[in-house]
Amino acid sequence: MDKIEAAGIIISLIVILATLILISQASFPAFTYATEDWIKIGTSEDVGLGTANFIWNYRFLDLVAQAVVLFGAAVGCLAILREEKEEEKHA
């Protein structure tokens, strides 16, 4: 193991330890503001039924979007993992 790997491991352990200490010592009031005093907005229609109908009736949009995301992920992985060619020097 070289010095860079050892330094990376040490820094990672320090960051993990600091994060755990921060989480254990600090209070995170996640539900302090979640009260029943909120103003609820009424709707004139069943929003869930309308959303479900849209998703099932326009399923092709979902499939096209998923295909674009998968294609983009594949292209990104290929770009990251491509093999770089060294330029030959002609003397």
The answer to whether 40 touches 47, Cβ cutoff 8 Å, is no
Q: Is the pLDDT confidence value at 91 over 60? A: no
- Decide: pTM greater than 0.75: no
55: CB partners within 8 A, 6+ apart? 62
| pLDDT single digits (tens) 5-37 | 999 999 999 999 999 998 888 777 666 666 666
| Residue 53 belongs to domain spanning | 3-27+47-81
26: CB partners within 8 A, 6+ apart? none
Residue 71: in which H helix or E strand, if any?
Answer: helix 59-81
Q: Is the pLDDT confidence value at 45 over 60? A: yes
Q: Is residue 77 part of a domain?
A: yes
Q: Is residue 69 part of a domain?
A: yes
Q: Is residue 34 part of a domain?
A: no
Q: Is the pLDDT confidence value at 68 over 90? A: yes
Q: Is residue 35 part of a domain?
A: no
Of all residues in the chain, the percent with pLDDT exceeding 90 is 32
The tally of domains found in the chain comes to 1
Q: Is residue 63 part of a domain?
A: yes
Q: Is residue 14 part of a domain?
A: yes
Q: Is residue 91 part of a domain?
A: no
Q: Is residue 8 part of a domain?
A: yes
